[in-house]
């Protein structure tokens, strides 16, 4: 490990190679990096980052409308029809695959 004079010689060589302004900027950058690193470690320890936090949630079924409440039935009807069409298509594909398997046996 370098002693006092050795550190002084290393510092003088660095000053000659890089110049005072460049070393000052380097020190400033290193200081900023250390400060940001400490802040990130602190936020990870707190379980939060950027003011957000993870919460547990559960999926719930949509509620039935209250009496007299207007409900958008057009999108519900469209979704139901789309789902039924997909189910029919899936059933047709399954039947076709079954026929192909039976024909191949």
DSSP codes joined into one string, 47-72? T-BTTB--------PPPPPPTT----
Task: Write out pLDDT tens, residues 92-105.
Answer: 999 999 999 888 86
Whether residue 70 has pLDDT greater than 70: no
DSSP helix/strand/coil, 105: coil
What per-residue confidence (pLDDT) applies to 86? 92
Most confident of 31-35, 49-53, 67-71, 77-81: 31-35
Report domain extents, the chain: 1-49, 73-105
* pLDDT, tens only, 11-61: 888 888 888 888 888 888 899 999 999 988 887 776 655 556 666 777 777
Closest CA to 103 of 95, 54, 84: 95
Q: What is the CATH number of domain 1-49?
A: 1.20.5
């Amino acid at each position: 490990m370098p002693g006092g004079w050795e550190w002084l010689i290393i510092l003088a060589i660095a000053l000659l190679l890089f110049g005072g302004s460049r070393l000052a900027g380097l020190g400033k950058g290193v200081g900023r990096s250390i400060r940001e690193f400490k802040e990130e470690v602190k936020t990870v320890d707190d379980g939060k980052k950027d003011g957000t936090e993870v919460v547990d949630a559960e999926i719930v079924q949509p509620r039935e409308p209250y009496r007299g409440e207007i409900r958008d039935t057009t999108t519900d009807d469209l979704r139901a029809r789309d789902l039924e069409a997909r189910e029919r298509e899936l059933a047709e594909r399954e039947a076709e695959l079954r026929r192909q398997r039976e024909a191949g046996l």
